[in-house]
Structure formats: structure tokens, C-alpha cells
């Protein structure tokens, strides 16, 4: 006899209490193995695959793609046991039972499940046990569809004439398209590999609204409730407001603070509430640093990024000033100096700003740092960072110069104690060896928690960083 097990959204850790369904990886009627990933969800920190601890036939799914679910809410139900059939399974309320799987294709009985569910870190089961078993390879689909659960695969629109699925990662993009009745197959993505971004949807909605406004211009003089379309602004969604009997005015848009945006808002607010931060800054001549990078990037050698060189300078500076690689234990009122440098770096993605973390940065060479930064950056842009890649940093490097700005006073990435900011490198007049010359100058800013050190320590750290930028040979002392 098959027994129906309900699998709920597990505890995500790191204070996360909800997640958004990005993509279902199984369908109703499909046989799943123990610890097989069944759904991809987006938390406030990362997109991760959730493995199911039960093996059996999926009898129901709960929640459409783009829906928000709290921790503990049902994700799906699985009929576990040998050769589960419609006479054995107890369907979830509002669903039809799944049809029987043919003999020889049933999974191992897993009455209690593996218990190895931990979002962002995978499970301990072997790859063979986690392999995906598709319908048609010994399975059949459920015949019915209920009202309380999603009982069919969410169909993705196919781009006209191209025969491929529309490239969409963000559930926000799908939600915006649904709210405005927009067919994503008609939208051309501007992201990598044709990825459809939020701005692409906004542009398509605006174009459609403009065309509709032109077509309805002849009815502008009609008497009745006024409907006003809010003017489009870059980076915003769209909406209308109907005000009977009075001239309508544009209404301000309300954007929910949830997901990554909500998590960032809470972290920024907590940092400002708890950390008495101070900032100092200095200009540095980066001409020699750029020359050193060109020399390191000789043909036939692995490329070294400028960010990797700055990261190596940070680890060398933290070795000299270890009090800045720290955190504050507010309960015990103690400064905790940390032995390893887990270096975070700010990365702008289509989903917003994220801070991937390079583990044990102090033990890596410049080439190793460059390789790891490149890997994490690619994962961030594709939405493939795990929770482990985004947490437990001890110091952050913020290269806001890529936005074309010179300086900033960034908010410390709580619960860290400091952040180094790097502005753009630009040609400026500079006194070099007693003469006025045009040099490549960068502004460095350093924001620190005044509880962990005084201004002398912070100034010494920043001065050492500036000296290494101006004379990269100083790094040889720490190699």
C-alpha cells in the first residue's frame, strides 16, 4: 500500500522565512527519487534547488511559479511505497489521484524520507540517487487536475518561430508579465543569451500603453470615469487608477519590500541602527598598479582582474591590521577578531546587488582570487549562487567605480566591521616625482565600525592600501 507524504518548504536558515517558486522541476505523476531536486526557489539571498526527502510518485504540487510561500507551507505530496497506484494513494484535497507507475519503475520505499533537506547546501545522497526520472521512462501522468494544487506543469511560452523556451529567470518578471497580460514570447530579451529582464517587460508594457493611447485618442472627450496611466519611469512597473467624476492624477507606485530588496533594506537599517560607523578617504596614483596588471596579463597567462589585485591588497592590509577583520558580539559586549578573511565583493546583477564571498581569501594568490571572483560573478549573474556563497563574510570590497563615480560612503555589511570602497580610475593632474603629470588617479574610501578601532588604526589601514596601489611591489613583502 502506498502512503501519501506531504513535503513542506523546509527551514531556509539565515533568518529567511519565505521563498518564491521560480521553477518546478517535477510534474504530477512523475516518479522522484530520494533527495531529488523538485523545485527551484528564490530566497532573499539566492536561488536554490530544494530536494525532496521522499521517493515515490508526485500526486500534487502546491503553488504556481512566481508564488510566495512561507516556511512550513506544503510544496508537494508524494505517494511512497512499492508500485503506488490510484487505489493506494491518498490524494491531496482538491486533486485527483496519480495513475500507477508500471512495474519495475517504482522507486525504493522511503516511508520516513532521508531528512537531508537543507536549502542552498544540497543533500548527502549520491548523484545516482538524486538523478531525475522523467515521465515516459517508466512513468505516467496524472489524469485529473484539482483546484487546490497545481496539477500540471507550468507551460512556458515559446518564442515565435524559434522553437525554444523563453529565457526568464526572475519570478518578478513573470509576475509583471501576468499582471499586464503580456506574452513573454513577444518580448526580446536584452540580457545574456536573450534573457528577459525587468526593463524589457517595462519597455514592452510602455510601448503597448503608448500604442493604446494613440488608438483611443478620439475618445478623449467622452464623459465618464477618468482612467489615468501612471507615467513610466526607469526601473518601475506600471499601473492605472480610476477616479470617477474628477480629473485623475498619477498615483505613486507602491513596491513591496520583500525578497532580496526587503532583506537588503532590513540589513541596511540594522547596520545604521547598531554600527557607529565613520569614513575616511584618500586619493591614490594607480598608474603603477595598472602597469603591473598589464605585465601580469602577458599573452598565454591566466588573466588577472583589477578587482583581484585590490582583493590581494585588502588581505595584505588585514594581515597588518587584524582588528578590522572582526565583528561585535552585542550580547557579550565583546569584539571577536576572526582568523580567516572571507572577502565579500559587491556585484550588480539583474536581480539586484549581491555580495558573493571568497572563502579564505588570505590563502589565495592573485591568480586564485581572480579565478574565484570570476566564478562567483558568473554564478551571480546567472542566479546560481548558493546560500553558502552569500553568507558569513568578514570584510567587504566595494568597487563602485564601475558606475563611473569617484567616491561614496557605503553602509557596512552587517555584522562586519569595515568596508573598502574603490572609485573610478581616471586621468587627472598629479604631482609625480616633483613634476606635474597626468596620472591615473583613484579615490579610496574606508568605512569602519568605530567600536572595533580608533581613527589611527583605520587611517593606517587605508594608508597602507593606498601605498600598495601606488607601489604594487610592496605586496612582495607579504607573498
Supply the DSSP string of 224-254, one letter for each residue.
S-EEEEPPP-TT----EEEETTS---PPPP-
Contact 321, 456 (CB under 8 A): no
55 class by beta-carbon count within 10 Å (0-12 exposed, 13-18 middle, 19+ buried): buried
Smallest Cα–Cα separation from 143: which of 99, 188, 80? 99
Reply yes or no on whether the pLDDT at 12 is more than 70.
Answer: no
**350 alpha carbon, distance to own chain's centre:** 9
Q: pTM of this prediction?
A: 0.57
What's the CA gap between 3 and 8, in Å, rounded?
16
Pairing of strands 31-32, 56-61: antiparallel
Task: Show which residues are catalytic.
Answer: 450
Q: How confident is the model at residue 83 (pLDDT cuts 50, 70, 90)?
A: very low
Return the minimum-mean-pLDDT range out of 13-27, 301-315, 369-383.
Answer: 13-27
Residue 266, all three cell numbers? 532590513
Residue 103, all three cell numbers? 512495474
Q: Cis (ω within 30 of 0) for the bond into 415?
A: yes
Q: How confident is the model at residue 171 (pLDDT cuts 50, 70, 90)?
A: low
Give me the architecture of the 261-478 domain, per CATH. Answer: 2-Layer Sandwich (3.30)
Q: How confident is the model at residue 243 (pLDDT cuts 50, 70, 90)?
A: very low
Instruction: Give exposure, 394-417, as e/b (b: 16+ Cβ within 10 Å).
Output: bbbbbbbbeeeebbbebbbbbbbb
Helix (H) or strand (E) holding 357: strand 357-358
Smallest Cα–Cα separation from 369: which of 316, 309, 296? 309
Find all residues with CB under 8 Å of 322, minimum gap 6, and list them: 337
Higher pLDDT, 83 or 310: 310
Percent share of the chain, pLDDT over 90: 39
Pairing of strands 418-432, 435-449: antiparallel
pLDDT the model gives residue 433: 93
What's the CA gap between 12 and 29, in Å, rounded?
27
Return the minimum-mean-pLDDT range out of 2-11, 154-163, 265-274, 275-284.
Answer: 154-163
What's the CA gap between 344 and 419, in Å, rounded?
9
Reply yes or no on whether the pLDDT at 448 is more than 60.
Answer: yes
Concatenated DSSP letters of 105-140: -PPPP-SS------TTT--SS-HHHH----TTSS--
pLDDT the model gives residue 22: 84
29-68: pLDDT as tens digits? 898 988 888 998 877 667 778 899 999 999 999 988 888 8
CATH code for the part of the protein at 158-211 = 4.10.320.10
364-392: pLDDT as tens digits? 999 999 999 999 999 988 878 888 898 89
Find all residues with CB under 8 Å of 330, minimum gap 6, and list them: 274
Higher pLDDT, 267 or 88: 267
- Give the helix ranges, DSSP H, for 305-410: 306-320, 366-382
157 class by beta-carbon count within 10 Å (0-12 exposed, 13-18 middle, 19+ buried): middle
Phi, psi at residue 421, to the nearest 5°?
-110, 140
Reply yes or no on whether the pLDDT at 198 is more than 90.
Answer: no
Class of domain 3-130: mainly beta
pLDDT the model gives residue 10: 86
Rounded average pLDDT over 119-135: 39
pLDDT the model gives residue 68: 84
Smallest Cα–Cα separation from 289: which of 472, 104, 123? 472
Residue with cell 496539477: 151
Smallest Cα–Cα separation from 348: which of 449, 264, 465? 264
For the ranges 50-54, 132-136, 202-206, 421-425, the maximum mean pLDDT occurs at 421-425
Q: What is the DSSP letter of 238?
A: -
pLDDT the model gives residue 336: 97
Task: Report domain extents, the chain.
Answer: 3-130, 158-211, 261-478
pLDDT the model gives residue 128: 37
Amino acid at each position: 500500500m502506498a502512503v501519501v507524504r506531504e513535503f513542506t518548504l523546509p527551514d531556509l536558515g539565515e533568518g529567511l522565512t519565505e521563498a518564491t517558486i521560480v521553477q518546478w522541476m517535477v510534474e504530477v505523476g512523475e516518479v522522484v527519487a530520494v533527495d531529488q531536486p523538485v523545485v527551484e526557489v528564490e530566497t532573499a539571498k539566492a536561488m536554490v534547488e530544494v530536494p525532496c526527502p521522499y521517493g515515490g510518485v508526485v500526486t500534487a504540487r502546491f503553488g504556481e511559479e512566481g508564488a510566495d510561500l512561507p516556511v512550513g507551507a506544503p510544496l508537494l505530496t508524494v505517494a511512497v511505497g512499492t508500485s503506488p497506484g490510484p487505489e493506494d494513494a491518498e490524494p491531496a484535497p482538491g486533486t485527483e489521484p496519480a495513475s500507477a507507475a508500471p512495474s519495475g519503475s517504482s522507486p525504493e520505499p522511503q516511508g520516513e524520507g532521508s531528512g537531508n533537506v537543507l536549502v542552498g547546501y544540497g543533500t548527502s545522497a549520491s548523484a545516482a540517487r538524486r538523478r531525475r526520472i522523467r515521465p515516459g521512462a517508466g512513468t505516467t501522468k496524472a489524469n485529473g487536475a484539482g483546484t487546490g494544487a497545481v496539477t500540471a506543469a507550468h507551460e512556458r511560452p515559446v518564442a515565435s518561430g524559434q522553437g525554444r523556451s523563453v529565457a526568464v529567470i526572475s519570478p518578478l518578471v513573470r509576475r509583471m508579465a501576468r499582471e499586464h497580460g503580456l506574452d513573454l514570447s513577444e518580448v526580446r530579451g536584452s540580457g545574456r543569451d536573450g534573457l528577459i529582464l525587468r526593463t524589457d517587460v517595462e519597455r514592452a508594457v510602455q510601448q503597448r500603453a503608448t500604442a493604446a493611447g494613440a488608438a483611443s485618442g478620439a475618445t478623449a472627450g467622452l464623459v465618464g470615469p477618468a482612467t489615468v496611466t501612471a507615467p513610466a519611469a526607469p526601473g518601475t512597473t506600471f499601473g492605472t487608477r480610476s477616479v470617477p467624476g474628477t480629473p485623475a492624477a498619477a498615483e505613486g507606485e507602491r513596491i513591496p519590500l520583500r525578497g532580496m530588496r526587503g532583506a537588503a533594506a532590513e540589513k541596511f537599517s540594522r547596520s545604521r541602527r547598531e554600527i557607529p560607523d565613520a569614513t575616511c578617504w584618500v586619493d591614490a596614483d594607480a598608474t603603477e598598479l595598472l602597469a603591473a596588471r598589464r605585465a601580469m596579463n602577458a599573452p598565454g597567462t591566466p588573466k588577472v582582474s583589477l578587482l583581484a589585485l585590490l582583493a590581494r591588497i585588502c588581505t595584505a592590509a588585514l594581515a597588518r591590521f587584524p582588528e578590522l577583520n572582526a565583528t561585535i558580539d552585542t550580547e557579550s559586549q565583546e569584539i571577536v577578531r576572526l582568523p580567516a578573511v572571507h572577502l565579500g565583493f559587491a556585484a550588480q546583477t539583474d536581480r539586484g546587488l549581491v555580495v558573493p564571498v571568497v572563502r579564505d581569501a588570505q590563502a589565495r594568490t592573485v591568480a586564485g582570487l581572480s579565478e574565484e571572483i570570476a566564478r562567483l560573478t558568473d554564478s551571480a549573474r546567472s542566479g546560481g549562487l548558493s546560500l553558502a556563497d552569500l553568507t558569513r563574510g568578514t570584510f567587504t570590497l566595494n568597487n563602485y567605480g564601475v558606475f563611473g563615480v569617484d567616491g561614496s560612503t557605503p553602509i557596512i555589511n552587517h555584522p562586519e566591521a569595515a568596508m573598502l570602497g574603490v572609485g573610478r580610475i581616471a586621468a587627472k593632474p598629479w604631482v609625480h616625482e616633483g613634476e606635474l603629470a597626468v596620472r591615473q588617479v583613484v579615490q579610496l574610501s574606508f568605512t569602519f565600525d568605530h567600536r572595533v578601532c580608533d581613527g589611527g588604526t583605520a587611517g593606517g589601514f587605508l594608508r597602507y592600501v593606498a601605498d600598495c596601489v601606488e607601489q604594487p611591489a610592496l605586496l612582495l613583502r607579504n607573498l
